[in-house]
Amino acid sequence: MSLPPHGATTLRPLLVDAARHGDLLAEARSLRPILISSASAANAVMLAAGYFTPLTGYMSRADALRVAREMRTEGDVFWPVPVLNLLPAADGIAPGERIALTDPNLPGEPILAVQTVERVEVLTDEDLRLIMERVFRTTDLDHPGVATLLAQGRTLISGPIEVLNFSYFESEFPDTFRTAMQLREAIAERGWRRTVAFQTRNPMHRAHEELCKMALERLDADGLLIHMLLGRLKPGDVPAPVRDAAIRRMVELYFPPDRVVVSGYGFDMLYAGPREAVLHAIFRQNAGCTHFIVGRDHAGVGSYYGPFDAQTIFDEEVPPHALAIEIFRADHTAWSKRLGRVVMMRDAPDHSNEDFVLLSGTKVREMLARGEPLPIEFARPEVAEILMRHYQAAG
């Protein structure tokens, strides 16, 4: 049983069909080209792929500020983060104009989409502060999401878009990138009625693997979607191709056949913690999943968010019935030396930290770079081998 898409009865992907593609591309070549940011390009890809259903394009200033304050658009659509096309300057762009949005992530900056401009507005210092404080819960310039927001400029170009392609995601990740429509089809083909989704921007170690298995069992789910972010990350994060290879190897060896779909989506990480967790839930509802795992420090970075803020937001700020998908709340998982298996830490109240195999991300990277094997209680050896090759090659 697939859930209905968020805010709509059917998905609303903004990728034009084959019949429209040629005419739109010809028109786009006659329009003023506007080079957009990677963040705006990622928004276009998500709109194209149906993940941003029911949105029709980039938000206005009024939409962005209401979303920041209340998680509602001016049209009363529940939405947790502004979806923006920000530029350094308007360069004469006027309402009513159609512009060709060009892709910053591909050689030659090809046309990605055509936008009908409804408004050209400038965000004030107060506007940007509101967005930072509500969406990222910080104005710290060291926060990667804040830094990305401020680097784009403050001229806001809003209006609907028609998208021509999926940027680099289809060509670089042909076996992994899938649209919300394709995932709904995959779930339907398998006859899954209860599907739980797991979000990741990292490789999956034993704790992640067991968390997914726990969710499958406790929810009596038919299948699992391991859904990885394929877009831009902060420096130091594991590149998507390496992560993809490691996850696929783990699934091949350690999950039951035909219970898992490994896939990815074309979006740049926001590191927005609780607000991004809500956005992640919308993605998975649009992809047809019935449940979504939200773990400790979900979509977080540094110490900007409390360890369970991304769970409590669903209780404290998401209105009842705003989402149809259900949240599976997970604690930190780790190998228990006393029990000889991976457990959720909350399920072992008699344990201390010394009773678990716990490694920091920094420690893991240092060990892999030196060619040292990770503890088998922490990482599957086949996964660690793939990661070790990456870190040693990176030098």
122's tokens: 């400038």
Q: Do residues 149 and 128 make contact, with C-beta atoms less than 8 angstroms apart? A: yes
Please tell me whether residue 308 adopts helix, strand or coil conformation: coil
Q: Which of 334, 301, 299, 327 lies closest to 209, judged by CA?
A: 334
Whether residue 238 contacts residue 390, with contact meaning beta carbons closer than 8 Å, is answered with yes
Alpha helices in 219-328 (DSSP H): 240-254, 274-286, 309-316
Question: What's the CA gap between 181 and 13, in Å, rounded?
Answer: 8
Catalytic residue (choose from 137, 201, 275, 380): 201
Tell me if residue 43 is catalytic.
Answer: no
105 catalytic residue (yes or no): no
Q: Burial, 232: exposed, middle or buried (Cβ in 10 Å; 0-12, 13-18, 19+)?
A: middle
How many angstroms separate the CA atoms of 93 and 392, rounded?
48
Q: Which is catalytic among the residues 12, 202, 259, 365?
A: 202
Distance of alpha carbon 241 from the chain centroid: 16
Alpha-carbon dihedral angle through residues 86, 87, 93, 95, given to the nearest 10 degrees: 10
DSSP calls for 14-59 = -BPPHHHHHHHHHHHHTSEEEEPPHHHHHHHHHHHTTTTTT--EEP
Catalytic residues: 201-202
